[in-house]
């Protein structure tokens, strides 16, 4: 009897070991394979039928129009159509998706489960795509691609979509205003983040409006630029968060004008012969009509690469000279830049910088360009 019990015990241990192996490998319906063939190391694909064990209600789902105020989610339902329990695995998922959840992970024969796919919508607009690649434990292939699409219709938008603040003289600052239109009634602004500290925005009092036969909210957004901005073209990105959770981007730009004005604003000297003398003349006046005040004058390489031009010509120019003459009563300053053209053919461009009296950022930049022929 003891021998019989021992044999039964060994048989049960082997049977359990074989059952575990079959569950681990079992991703398809079991074909009639003997335990002998399993022990002989046969390819696991040969042990199962060719059908994928999980049958999904749908593998491609379009959620239609959705708001950007909250992430969207969909549960892909499936049933295990095989004769064995299978462990469902997540092989891959989209970069803007939360990690999909599989419930349950181990699915018995004939039992159902879901794969929950969440897509982020904040800051997005238009068609978005998400999904996941699903497999089962024990086999690399085949897998199932679950595809989820939606069209994000922003809950909030700016009117106009970008703000161009009027040209402003250096040291004066400037401001502009746009309207934030929110499709949700009773909305407000939770926060405003600016990419440039000199651009400061604040929200005004919300106003109830009609949007497509429904009630929405109109919120004025006022943007101010600081007087510390130097002369030049400046841009910033404002990120506005509504109380409903939507994030909206507002590009803002402003042109800060130097205190001085050049005539001409840029100088083209045409074709020159290598080694020949060139001369550029520019008249400078004050923007506000007061007497001209110049702090310094200098030359610099162009920071913008014009098509066909050499970006750094200063070192190639010889006999450079800058002359300044001021006409009484200091209303016009005439600046002459002279030198000799390089011997090498090609296009050349440099910048004549004239600094005014409004600080280091008060710089009038006058491009000077010419070409050297053979």
**Of 122, 153, 184, which residue constitutes the final position of a domain?**
153
The CATH number given to whatever domain includes residue 355 is 2.60.40.10
* Same domain flag for 39 and 62: no
Q: Domain check: are 285 and 308 in the same one?
A: yes
pLDDT, residue 70, reads 75
Mark whether 281 and 252 lie in a shared domain. Answer: no
Q: Which residue did the predictor score with more confidence, 93 or 20?
A: 93
Instruction: Output the pLDDT for position 310.
Output: 54
Question: What are the structure tokens assigned to 21, written together?
Answer: 């192996």
Residues 124 and 66 in one domain: yes
For residue 43, what pLDDT is reported?
35
Q: How far is CA 273 from CA 157, 343, 350, 369, 371, in A?
A: 56, 8, 18, 14, 8
pLDDT confidence of residue 34: 29
Long-range own/partner contacts, residues 69-72 (CB < 8 A, 24 or more apart): 69/121, 69/155, 69/184, 69/242, 69/244, 69/245, 69/246, 70/121, 70/245, 71/98, 71/118, 71/119, 71/120, 71/121, 71/122, 72/118, 72/119, 72/121, 72/150
274 and 362 together in one domain: yes
Assess whether 118 and 40 both reside in one domain.
no
Whether residues 291 and 359 fall in one domain: yes
CA distance 31 to 47: 6
pLDDT cut 90: percent of the chain above it: 57
Separation CA 82–CA 351 (nearest Å): 76
Residues 98 and 189 in one domain: no
Short-list 175, 185, 251, CA closest to 218: 185
Domain hosting residue 352, numbered range:
260-373
Most confident of 38-47, 88-97, 192-201: 192-201
How large is the C-alpha radius of gyration of the chain? 36
| DSSP codes, 294-329 | --EEEEEE-SS--TTEES--GGG-EEEEEEEEEETT
Per-residue pLDDT at 71: 84
Mapped onto helix, strand or coil, the DSSP state of residue 202 is strand
pLDDT in tens, 338-367: 999 888 888 888 999 999 988 889 999 999
From 25, 47, 69, the end of a domain falls on 47
For residues 250 and 193, state if they share a domain. yes
> 312 and 252 share a domain?
no
Q: Please, are residues 335 and 321 in contact by the beta-carbon 8 Å criterion?
A: no
pLDDT digits (tens, 9 = 90+) for 141-169: 889 999 999 998 888 899 999 999 999 99
- Note the pLDDT of residue 307: 54
Q: Tokens 């095989």 label which residue?
A: 82
CA distance 82 to 86: 8
Tell which phi-psi region holds residue 126, choosing left (phi > 0), alpha (psi between -120 and 50) or beta.
left
Total number of domains in the chain:
4
Measured CA to CA, the distance from residue 351 to residue 354 in angstroms comes to: 10
Report whether 158 contacts 180 (CB < 8 A): yes
The answer to whether residues 176 and 255 touch, using CB atoms and an 8 Å cutoff, is no
Claim to verify: residue 264 and residue 369 sit in the same structural domain: yes
Model confidence pLDDT, tens digit, residues 67-81: 877 789 999 999 998
Rounded to an integer, the average pLDDT of 287-307 is 83
Together in a domain, 241 and 266: no
**139 — pLDDT class (breaks 50, 70, 90):** confident
Residue 36 to residue 192: CA distance in whole angstroms: 70
Last residue within a domain, chosen from 257, 282, 316: 257
């Amino acid at each position: 009897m003891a021998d019989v019990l021992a044999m039964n015990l060994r048989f049960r241990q082997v049977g359990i070991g074989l059952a575990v192996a079959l569950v681990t490998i079992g991703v398809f319906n079991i074909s009639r394979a003997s335990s002998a063939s399993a022990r002989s190391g046969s390819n696991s694909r040969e042990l199962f039928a060719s059908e994928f064990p999980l049958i999904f209600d749908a593998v491609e789902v379009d959620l239609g129009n959705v708001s950007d105020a909250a992430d969207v989610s969909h549960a892909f339902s499936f049933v295990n159509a095989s004769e064995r329990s299978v462990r469902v695995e997540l092989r891959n998922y989209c970069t803007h998706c939360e990690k999909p959840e599989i419930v349950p992970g181990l699915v018995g024969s004939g039992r159902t489960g879901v794969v929950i796919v969440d897509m982020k919508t904040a800051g997005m607009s238009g068609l978005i795509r998400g999904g996941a690649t699903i497999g089962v434990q024990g086999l690399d292939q085949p897998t199932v691609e679950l595809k989820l699409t939606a069209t994000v219709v922003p809950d909030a938008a700016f009117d106009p979509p970008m703000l161009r603040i009027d040209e402003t003289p250096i040291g004066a600052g400037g401001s502009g205003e746009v309207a934030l239109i929110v499709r949700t009634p009773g909305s407000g602004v939770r926060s405003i983040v600016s990419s440039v500290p000199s651009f400061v925005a604040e929200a005004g009092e919300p106003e109830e409006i009609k949007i497509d036969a429904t009630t929405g909210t109109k919120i004025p957004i006022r943007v101010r630029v600081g007087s510390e901005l130097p002369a030049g073209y400046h841009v910033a990105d404002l990120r506005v968060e509504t109380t409903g959770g939507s994030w909206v981007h507002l590009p803002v730009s402003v042109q800060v004008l130097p205190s001085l004005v050049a005539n001409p604003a840029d100088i083209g000297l045409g074709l020159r012969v290598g080694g020949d003398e060139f001369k550029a003349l520019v008249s400078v006046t004050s923007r506000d009509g007061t007497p001209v005040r110049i702090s310094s004058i200098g030359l610099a390489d162009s920071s913008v690469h014009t098509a066909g031009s050499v970006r750094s010509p200063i070192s190639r120019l010889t006999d450079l000279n800058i002359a300044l003459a001021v006409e009484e009563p200091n209303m016009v300053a005439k600046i002459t830049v002279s030198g000799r053209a390089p011997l090498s053919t090609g296009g050349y461009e440099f910048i004549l910088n004239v600094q005014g009296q409004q600080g280091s950022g008060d710089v009038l930049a006058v491009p000077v360009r010419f070409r050297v022929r053979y």
